[in-house]
Structure 1
Amino acid sequence: MNGALGATSGGLPDELMSLIFLNCLETDDIGCVTPSSTSAPLLPSWVCRRWRRICLSTPQLWTGVNLQDLTREGLYAVNRTALLSLLDLWIRRSRSCSISIRFSYTDLSDAGSGMMLFLPGPDDDSAYLHDIRALIQRLLSCQHRWRALDVTVLDLSTVEPLLQAVSARPASPRLEYLSIATQYLGIFGEIRTYNLQLASHLRTIRIMSPLIVPEGNGVQFERLSELTLKYCSSMMGCLQWIDKAPNLETLRVRFFGAGGESFENGTRTRRLRKLVDLQISSFSSDSDPTAFINLLELPALEELFFDMNDLIESRSWSCVLELLKRSRPRALQALALLGTPMSQEDILACLRMSPKLTYLNLGTVTDNILDALSASAPCQPKSSTPLCPSLEVLEIADVTDCSAASLVNFASSRCRDKSDDVSAAECELRFEGDNRWETLETLVIPCDPDYDLIGHPDIMQCVAKGLSVEHKDLAFDILPPRRLAQRLTPA
């Protein structure tokens, strides 16, 4: 930047230089920049006097700072004093603009890494407590300008002042995004309740900590469109959030230690008319979400993701099928059923109710399911319409319950021909003719050296046509539908 632009920028007006610097910012999902001496906004502010003047007179360059990576061992050597100095720098230079702040501070010498099940004593690291209080005070100094706040700390009690600031006047009139995460799960603690009526302008809330719930007053979060509750220890607490957010579009919940709750028979169904993305997972054997799922009705659903991690013991787990029957979504495009105790019959019934699926992720698959998805049965001519006629991606976590022959037949009968020697007109003609079910573009199977599917001649022919066959270790790579759909969307 200093080489090419610096030699020719003398005649450019300051306003144009400001726009150039703004376009050099590398921001994350909430508009934050990770401070670096090799990138904007710090780098151009050190080049020359004029560039520095322009940078300091452009507060939009300093409206988002990500201090999360700075506290991770091995990435940057930033001490606690420097962390406060960087935060001060962005707060000061952003002037009166709205500001987004993301920081992670879990540097407790005796805590080690990873999640904590028990908190250390109050005297275990007085330096940490002193520093986190100083960080909180810096944040509170600009709370009237918060646009996005993403905080990761050891314990929820350390961010109590932030939650009180959101709940009390003068509150944070510009706050749209709030994320609270703790290293301590707090699974043995109580649910915390806050009067969040002044935070009704929030659009995104993510709570990855002991559960926080709003008070049961009449105030609703009309603008709230995305809600994430991880390590959620109460299904009733989750319902309290849903009752406050009638316009939710995305709901992601991971239940952990949420067993023992019961709902009255007369508990009403929650109809979320705008919800398009539902993701529910369970991280403990006592967190069967059946009772919670049975209270949902989602007519606008487009993506449905379940991951029970094989922790739910049930002979009849039909809550997903009942949800689809109750909701009748017209545009369900992505479905993931991982680690659920669902029967083969229920899975097939779900697929029959989802004719517009383009993405399907199954924890396990049988020959009967593959045959129902195939455009032709083995050793037989073309059959009737297969299930999921628009399917583009099939992802399978476990192939032990299906034969290689059924998997090969499915891929061969549904593979889309994208080879160079097939013209666009021929592809269109094939799509309307006998080969109209050839829609499959990606097949994802587990990484298993004993399962040599890729070496099968028919699969090799599919790969030559353009089928992408991917292997992955599902223990470390579980991809929710939306992320996979984004990855597969052409630029």
Structure 2
Amino acid sequence: MENANAEGMAEPPVHSQAAAVLEIERRQNDFVPIGRLPDEVLEPVFIYVRDSDTDELVKGKLIKYHFLYAPKWTFVTWVCRRFRAVCLGHPLLWSQIRNYTPKWLFAFLERSMACALDVRIDTILHKPASLKCILQSTPRMRALVLEGFAHANFEHVLSAMKVLTRELTTLSLLQAGGPLAAVGGPTVEAMVHIDNSLLCNVNQLRRLDLRGRISHIHPSSSLLSPSLEHLRLEGAYTAAELTILLREAPSLQSLVLRGTKVYAPPGARETPESITTIPLLRLSSLDIKIHFREEVPRLLHILNLPTLRHVSVTLASFHFGNPITTLSALSSLLQQCNNGAPFQSLRLQPIKKYSDGRCVGQHIALWHSPHTGAKSKFSHPPLSPPQADIGFQPRSPYVDPLDAHTLVSFYKNLCTCLPLASVSTLTIDINRNLPRSAWKDILRPLSRVEHLKLLGKWPVLILEALAITPFTLPALSHVAISRPMHAPGTSPPLLLELMGVAKARAGERRIHIAFIDCVGFASKRYESLREFADVTWDHMSFFDDGAEDEDEPWLALISG
């Protein structure tokens, strides 16, 4: 494209008379002091304007464009001739390629000249000619992010992969439709082609993101370089593949693995017994969602993560009948988080979906700050995002197959195996009618709990277990009740059990009871509690005891 044509593209599509007025305004702006600043000052300013425009597209609500558009930042070229000359003469300004219309796309590729490119596009939006033009520039790309990667543009992507630059730092292939978009024979064939085409020498690669079953990477791929810092994989990976794969990337700082279905080809190997540890000494964030198999606990157990700060593990198709081995591996993983600092808060909460609020799975979430889980209102998530969480999904994603006996046994093992001995704040939101004897066994390992908050429909059953004897949660000093208007049990049974809890501990200390967000409660009915306990209403700072949120961790368990 000729320079005149590229410059002409920056002209707004206006009427000739309006263009004359614009020309007069440009000439006037040429004499403004800011227009006479040197290039060394204007160029960083224009780059900031460009990056601000890009950040708005990434972080704003319009992150997913379903159409091609023109870049907004180029309006600065219409202010004055000086700004225009600086922009057109600075190649770095044109080095970010997005989902632009063809005219702008070709102009950016030309104007960027020999600069390293940052390409982030949705391949479905571009015609073959535009896509081919973009991929021909891969030798000078520093970042390549392709969304919508699928069979339709498969050949173009493969041809581009073979000539990737050695300076590439970011590579992302994001297949449209998620990890289950492609299945069957074509998927397996696509995996083979991807593995063969990614055998390029990318020494500077720092971030690798492969999503979708078609974007399967083999553990022997050269993309898993020792310099890789951020890795996200989505698709079907066995525990054996992950074991070898993680050994090839010792410098990882963050790891995200997604895929509820495990692709296990015939003759697939189990986790190599010769590998006794996977040292990821710089890993601070671990996020895994994997189909549960017998070798998964061993994979978790051999992870060596001394700098771990955030951990998220979701086990799909989990068998709840014998969880001891898995819980032991998870305990080993949790003890490495935050330098082994003890957890001080625990939350039990169901995962609900659909309009009827039906529970569809069990999920354990962990945070590293005190009392955060207890501060949230009924049916709301904790105020701070979790630093760690662990999920147990049943074999059916729509129906909870657990009977009460299996669920109680699971809770007992969970509270015994996980490092919960230092828990002092406990929040329970379980809509399962578990017997009082079961709650006694579940809560027995949590002997240091001082603050208890009850959400959901069945607080009476938990209070029954506490009212029988003070030896269940012997250190208990604060109890909070948070109930919706429609919840049952707002009448005398709840009052009687609260009275029993207060009386059982009257000889030791005067217990504090708070009613938080209890719409429709008759406060006068509970005035008799004041004889044995201190009672407050709608006091949301009930658990704020002056503790700082930065140093002491807490744990929240979410379950069905």
Cα distance change, pair 356–465 in 1 and its aligned pair in 2 (3 A) = closer
Offset of 1:316 from its aligned partner? 2.3
Q: 2-side partners of 1:402 and 1:136: how far apart?
A: 60
The alpha-carbon deviation at position 155 of structure 1 amounts to: 1.2
What letter corresponds to residue 204 of structure 1 in structure 2? Answer: R
Q: Is the 8 A contact 2:484 2:518 kept in 1?
A: no
Structure 2 Cα separation of the partners of residues 447 and 239 of structure 1: 47
Paired with 2:424 and 2:257, the residues of 1 have a C-alpha distance of 23
Counterpart of 1:145? 140
Q: Matched residues in 2 for 1:38 and 1:60: separation? A: 15
Query: Are 1:186 and 2:182 matched, yes or no?
Result: yes
The DSSP-based 3-state class of the residue aligned with 2:98 is strand
Contact 1:182 1:208 survives alignment (8 Å): yes
Taking the aligned partners of 1:163 and 1:291, their CA distance within structure 2 comes to 36
State the shift of 1:204 in Å: 0.7
Aligned to 1:279: 287
1:228 deviation in Å?
Answer: 0.7
Aligned partner (choices 229, 232, 236) of residue 232 of structure 1? 236
Q: Residue 43 of structure 1 aligns to a residue in which SS?
A: helix
Cα offset for 1:37? Answer: 6.1
Structure 2 CA distance for partners of 1:354 and 1:13, relative to 1, 3 Å? farther
Measured after TM superposition, the shift of residue 293 of structure 1 is 3.1
CA deviation after TM superposition for structure 1 residue 88, in Å: 1.9
Can you list the C-alpha shifts for 1:172-203, whole angstroms capped at 9, x where unaligned? Answer: 12211111011252232213323535023211
Which SS does the other structure have where 1:213 is aligned?
Answer: coil
Residue by residue over 1:92-131, the C-alpha shift from the partner in whole angstroms, topping out at 9 and shown as x without a partner, is: 2222221111111336xxxxxxxxxxxxxxxxxxxxxxx5
Is 1:86 the counterpart of 2:92? The answer is no
> Aligned equivalents of 1:361 and 1:276: distance in 2?
29
The answer for the alignment partner of 2:511 in structure 1 is none
Question: Do residues 331 (structure 1) and 338 (structure 2) align?
Answer: yes
CA gap 1:345/1:85 in 2 versus in 1, 3 angstroms = farther
C-alpha displacement of 1:326: 6.6
Describe the shift of the 1:134–1:231 C-alpha distance in structure 2 as closer, same or farther (beyond 3 A). same
Equivalent residue pairs, number: 374
Contact 1:299 1:327 in 2 (8 A): no
The question of whether the paired residues in 2 share the 8 Å contact of 1:308 and 1:338 is answered with: yes
Aligned residue identity for 2:450: S
Please, which of 87, 91, 112 is the counterpart of residue 59 of structure 1?
91
> Is 2:224 aligned against 1:257?
no
- 1:156–1:182 CA contact under 8 A, matched in 2: no
Q: Tell me whether 233-242 or 84-93 shows the greater mean CA deviation.
A: 233-242
Give the equivalent residue in structure 2 for 1:95.
113
Is the 2:69–2:101 contact (alpha carbons within 8 Å) kept by the matching residues of 1?
Answer: no
Shift of 1:319: 2.3
Which structure has the higher relative contact order (CA within 8 Å, separation 6+)?
Answer: 2
Q: Deviations over 1:71-98 (max 9, x none)?
A: xxxxxxxxxxx63333222222222221
Residue range with higher mean Cα deviation, 90-99 or 321-330: 321-330
Q: How does 1:163-312 map to 2 (within 5 A)?
A: 163-166=158-161, 168=162, 170-184=163-177, 185-188=181-184, 189-190=187-188, 191-192=191-192, 193-194=195-196, 195-210=198-213, 211-214=215-218, 216=220, 221-258=225-262, 263=270, 266=273, 268-269=275-276, 270-282=278-290, 289-290=296-297, 292-308=299-315, 311-312=317-318
- Equivalence for 1:18: 43
Distance in 1 of aligned mates of 2:417 and 2:130: 50
The equivalent of 1:386 in structure 2 is none
| TM-score calculated relative to the size of structure 1 | 0.61
Contact 2:422 2:448 in 1 (8 A): no
Q: Show the counterpart of 1:44.
A: 76
Q: Structure 1's 66 and 265: CA in aligned 2 closer, same or farther, altered over 3 A?
A: closer
- 2:528 — aligned with what? none
The 1:250–1:233 alpha-carbon spacing in structure 2 relative to 1, beyond 3 Å, is same
Question: What SS is found at the alignment partner of 1:199?
Answer: coil
1:479 equivalent in structure 2: none
For residues 269-326 of structure 1, give each alpha carbon's deviation from its aligned partner in whole angstroms, at most 9, with x where no partner exists: 32322222111124x78899446435533333221112346x4233123425314427
CA distance in 2, matches of 1:446, 1:99: 55
Deviations 1:27-55 (A, max 9, x none): 34999999976832x11012232211111
TM-score (norm 2): 0.54
Identity of matched residues, %:
16
Whole-angstrom CA distance in 2 between matches of 1:357 and 1:48: 65
Closer, same or farther: CA 228–403 of 1 in aligned 2, 3 Å: farther
Could you tell me which residue of structure 2 aligns to residue 461 of structure 1? 539
The answer to which structure has the higher helix fraction is: 2
Q: CA deviation at 1:143?
A: 1.4
Classify 1:136/1:199 alpha carbon distance in 2 versus 1 (closer, same or farther; 3 Å).
Answer: farther
- Aligned AA (2:107): L
Distance 1:353 1:370, change over 3 A: closer
Alpha-carbon distance in structure 1 between the residues aligned to 2:151 and 2:321? 38
Post-superposition CA distance 1:465-487 (Å, at most 9, x none): 879xxxxxxxxxxxxxxxxxxxx
Taking the aligned partners of 1:357 and 1:134, their CA distance within structure 2 comes to 63
- Residues 251 and 179 of structure 1: CA distance in aligned 2, closer, same or farther (over 3 Å): same
How far is the alpha carbon of 1:335 from its aligned partner?
Answer: 2.0
- Structure 1 residue matching 2:235: 3-state secondary structure: strand
1:345–1:209 distance in 2 versus 1, CA, 3 Å: same
Aligned partner of 2:320: which letter? S
Task: Give the conservation status (yes or no) of the 8 Å contact 2:229–2:254.
Answer: yes
* Separation in 2, partners of 1:10, 1:364: 67
Q: Say if 2:516 and 2:539, in contact at 8 Å, map to a contact too.
A: no
Give the SS at the match of 1:372.
coil
Separation of aligned partners in 1, 2:77 and 2:308: 47
The answer to whether the Cα contact below 8 Å between 1:180 and 1:206 also exists between their aligned partners in 2 is yes
1:444-471 deviations in whole A, cap 9, x for unaligned?
x99997499523785721248879xxxx
Distance 2:269 2:391 in 1: 25
Cα distance in 2 for residues equivalent to 1:448 and 1:92: 64
Give the AA of the match of 1:297. Answer: N
Match of 1:319 in 2: 326
Cα distance in 2 for residues equivalent to 1:404 and 1:15: 72
Distance 1:165 1:448 in 2: 60
